[in-house]
A and B are shown apart, each in its own frame.
Chain A
């Protein structure tokens, strides 16, 4: 059965999607600042799924709504339209009480460290634990562990004014992590740091995501830390312009590149092609393409296998079986002819589909592309 979820194909990790519930799930989320005449929409139809253990980096021009989305996810503002589920709690229409309770399961890291100068590193971090019923002993152990891990073992009882900028930010991070939150929200956490401290901070994020299965959402313009991201979300004018699961995108590009006629495309074009693909799921025996139908999509097999059955001169037979990494459906798009064969799923199959218009526009970008394609079609026949 073809699924109707219209999330881009590369927006999630293939293996995980079906297994776990996302930590963040937004559907058709809109947000407005102000009322009446002055009402101004800053978020438009945001759809986003983020899984446990994922590190998401949000980028985009300033004023595009990244911070606004972050405050909505953090329960610091509330939206009225659409749906936003964070840690299984629906945030749209949630009470202040529910939001406070939820916020205690999150860790916030701001651009400024916002530490109390009257408190030591230890005490500042302890403020995060005093919201919970930990014993004094347990608090001490946790705080010491967290600070030590952040390389502040020798600065535990220092006040902020005797710490360096990087150290202060690490104390603030320790405060955001010490209660083992399921979700960490960070806005420009490395903006105030030099390269080395910034690196240390993101490395800690990575460890946390890997070890604690914590979801981390980072808004940043700092392209030095892009490499830690599992997913990069690009926002423009309040819309999620692209939302790419980096590894999946790489995988798809790798597949696309295996096709003779796509080999010459630049990585940038490949990523764009991958971005425009949508995921479709089929069960064993489902018909994907029927011979004689008009062609509307190009398909890449991400997982599973299909058989191609052609009827020629009244005789019906299986002409080919395609597997992971293979593609089909391009001919009808290029020649504007009806489908010349029927394609059926042989097992549980995941396909990445590219719409006709997108497919053709990609082809127009590369004069050699069409040539290659025609050649490859010719050779197949």
Chain B
């Protein structure tokens, strides 16, 4: 495309007018940011909802068969876990209790906000987080809990000040609670914050869960650990056969995907952000087309002169493709930096997981490139229409 020693006309034409270039880069950067934001929110939805699954120290997960998404819990009897422990290859099956409806957090004389409470038998290796494991002994006294330091600021918990945190008087579902440590999880679209406590404390806070029976006899998730070298698929199959039909057994990855799949396909949310992304793309194409078209229109007599001199169409095609490529790179970089800044800010304000990974950045660059190339192709007609016969 660009032969050595050739005059880099595409680059020269783009960079000649710094002001125009700055506007162009700003415009494309804006479109890039739009796409990053839409994608960021979409991914935040998915990432945040499955964050709790990622944090689980599970090889397999047992859930109620009719469970379709984490925020809409279906529970099952702890009996299933007792049965699961009998299965060959299983080294342990531990209950995880989740309460997202009855649980509210309130500072004295303040409004109460719903918060998700996760509970486990202290000493069960249910979580991967070392912070949680180390805090286990502190969870044994009554009315103690850990608070998610990424919970939304609205709870007013001084998560960054351990001194004040221990003294702060707070009620969880109408009962005093003392936060004895922190962990990191983050909000998602259904939950604004998280609390972790021992099963014994959980039973105190939510005694009605069992509808009269032992509140701890009804489990939300079963965390299954396997013996070393056990085959995950094999044990999963085995457990499915062994356990009654009211529960299902997932691998951790499978469960994660099922959860994401629910949000992606069964709710309009994924679709809405898809439309947002497409809008960003279209806006980008329009901005980019304007820029390339103006740049081309401003040079029509010059292009026509080149044609008269004997330059062929493919030169102009390469020229426009080159300009599109440069614009996509020049616009993407500031767009990426701005998005990164916004992600960080939004993550702080909303507690949502706004993660900028290389594959996601590459995907957005792919969109940006496609955007600039589309505009380039639209503007191409204009260049190719330059008629040297009109020059005289």
**A residues apposed to B, CB below 8 Å:** 67, 70-71, 74, 76-77, 100-101, 103-104, 108, 110-112, 114-119, 123, 126-128, 130-131, 136, 175, 187, 219
Contact = CB atoms under 8 A, between A and B. Distances in A.
A108 B308 contact: yes
B269 interface: no
A110 B392 contact: yes
Given A100-B312, A131-B311, A110 B9 contact: no
Given A76-B387, A126-B7, 14 more contacts: A71-B389, A76-B308, A100-B310, A100-B312, A103-B308, A108-B309, A108-B388, A110-B392, A114-B301, A116-B9, A116-B12, A118-B12, A131-B309, A131-B310
Nearest to B305: A114
Interface SS, B side: helix
Given A100-B310, A101-B310, A131-B311, A118 B13 contact: yes
Nearest to B3: A130
A331 B299 CA distance: 67
Nearest to B6: A130
Contacts of A128: 309
Contacts of B13: 116, 118
Contacts of A123: 7, 12
Interface in B87-111: none
Chain B interface residue number, banded: 20 to 34
A175 B12 CA distance: 18
A123 B304 CA distance: 17
B16 A77 contact: no
Contacts of B311: 131
B5 interface: yes
Contacts of A117: 16
Nearest to B13: A118
Contacts of A100: 310, 312
B391 interface: yes
A74 B9 contact: no
A116 B12 CA distance: 9
B306 interface: yes
A103 B310 CA distance: 6
Contacts of A126: 7
A117 B9 CA distance: 11
A119 B7 contact: yes
B214 interface: no
A76 B304 CA distance: 10
A71 B392 contact: yes
Contact of A119 (B12, B301, B304): B12
A101 B15 CA distance: 32
Contacts of B306: 127
B302 interface: yes
Interface string B305-348: 11011111000000000000000000000000000000000000
Closest 10 A/B residue pairs (Cβ): A118-B16, A104-B310, A76-B389, A118-B12, A187-B392, A114-B305, A103-B310, A114-B301, A67-B392, A71-B389
A168 to B, nearest CB: 13
Contact of B5 (A71, A118, A136): A136
A143 B196 CA distance: 78
A34 to B, nearest CB: 14
10 contacts: A70-B392, A104-B309, A108-B308, A114-B305, A114-B391, A116-B12, A118-B13, A119-B7, A127-B306, A130-B6
